Copies of this chain bind each other. A is one copy, B any other.
Amino acid sequence: MSIIIEAVPNFSEGRRPDVVAAIVEAIKAPGVLLLDQSSDADHNRSVVTVAGAPDAVLEGAFRAVRTAAELIDMFSQRGAHPRIGATDVLPLVPIEGITVEECVQLAHQLAKRIAYELALPVYMYAAAATRPERRRLPDIRKGEFEGLLETIHTAERMPDYGPAKVGSAGAIVVGARPFLVAYNVYLNTGDVAIAKAIAKTIRESSGGYPAVQALGLLVEGQAQVSMNFVDTNVTPIHVVYDAIGRLAADQGVSIDRSELIGLTPRSVVFGAAAHYLKLPDLTPARTVEEAVRQSLISNL
């Protein structure tokens, strides 16, 4: 079975195409697959998505962090997006044959290399955090690069790895988190108040489902419950879909359709089919495509 992780580094450069190109070139270590890249000039920020075997992705990520540190000067960098360093944040995400917990170990391994070889201060966040108050990115990034110059000497801001000293590359936040799924449900109504009320009931921050963020929006005249699932192993999308259906029915409204923004782990699809068909052992291994693939791998 192949092991695949994803890395989604965010760089504090979205205006100079040559710098972005150099970073993207650097991240393409042997075995690294470039899945996506996007730059925003207002935010002055670029997001690069790569995947591959853990060793390859870690090597590519390290090279990109080194290149960004060489080419981005945080003393002169300005942009609408909050940031703390040249490579601002670098999450590792499990894709296939690996858990978030194992990605936490990989994140610490990568963080140590960045700290010792590049002499950068590194903070660990999300599942890789070493303190509860460092789980959330905004908490670590508070005061941004300029604030950190003043406070990195304090016990509270002591980096997890590397020197308590800020240079032109700033600091970097490294971590591990599950795959984030963006999923929307459209209601058969133009009354956004119904979507807002449902969003409030289902989101974690108002006491709803754990690992679910939700907002009620009006999209082209139709009420939409717009959601992020930050850990579909904790709350799968079909559980919330069903809840939205019940809450909508209480208001005399039904679900029109739903939509995925971007990609989803296939476990979300198999989990939904298994739930609705009452077929608990429905896993990818039960598909003929996967049987062929496994046979192919074992015959190599």
CA distance A295 to B280 in the complex (A): 31
CB distance from A174 to the nearest CB of B (A): 21
Return the contact of A96 from the options B276, B278, B284, B289 (Cβ within 8 A). Answer: B289
Least distance between A110 CB and chain B CB atoms (Å): 20
Q: Assess the A259–B272 pair: CB atoms within 8 A.
A: no
Q: In the bound complex, how far is the Cα of B287 from the Cα of A24, in angstroms?
A: 23
Select the residue from A277, A279, A299 with max chain B CB neighbours within 10 A: A277
A282 interfacial by beta-carbon distance below 8 Å: yes
Interface residues of A in 46-78 (CB under 8 A from B): 51
- A81 located at the interface, meaning its Cβ lies under 8 Å from any Cβ of chain B in the complex: no
Q: Is the CB of B256 within 8 A of A292?
A: no
Docked CA distance A282–B277 (Å): 17
- In this assembly, does A179 line the interface, its C-beta being within 8 Å of a C-beta of chain B? yes
The reply to whether A258 and B277 contact each other, CB–CB distance below 8 Å, is yes
Please report which residues of chain A, range 215-238, place their CB below 8 angstroms from some CB of chain B when the two chains form the complex.
237-238
Given contacts A287-B266, A288-B6, A288-B264, contact A278 B257 (CB under 8 A): yes
Contacts of A34 in B (CB 8 A): 295
Please determine whether B279 and A259 come into contact, CB atoms closer than 8 angstroms: yes
A243 CB–B CB distance under 8 Å: no
Chain B residue numbers with a CB within 8 Å of A270 are: 269, 273
Chain B residues contacting A19 (CB-CB under 8 Å) are: none
- A164-214 residues with Cβ-Cβ distance < 8 A to B are 179
Give A219 Cβ to nearest chain B Cβ, in Å: 16
Question: Contacts of A273 on B, CB cut-off 8 Å?
Answer: 238, 269-270, 272-273, 276
A37 to chain B, nearest CB (A): 13
- Chain B residues with Cβ below 8 Å from A51 are 288, 292, 295
Tell me if A161 is interfacial: C-beta within 8 Å of chain B.
Answer: no
Chain B proximity of A160: nearest CB distance (Å): 28
Which residue on chain B has the smallest CB distance to residue A284?
B266
A4 contact set on B, CB distance < 8 A = 289, 292
Binding site for B on A (CB under 8 A): 4, 6, 33-35, 51, 95-96, 179, 237-238, 241, 255-260, 263-266, 269-270, 272-273, 276-282, 284, 286-292, 295-296, 299
28 A-B contacts, Cβ less than 8 Å apart? A4-B292, A33-B295, A33-B296, A35-B291, A35-B292, A35-B295, A95-B289, A238-B273, A241-B277, A255-B278, A257-B278, A257-B279, A260-B279, A260-B281, A260-B282, A260-B286, A263-B286, A265-B289, A266-B284, A266-B287, A266-B288, A269-B270, A269-B273, A269-B282, A269-B287, A270-B273, A272-B276, A276-B276
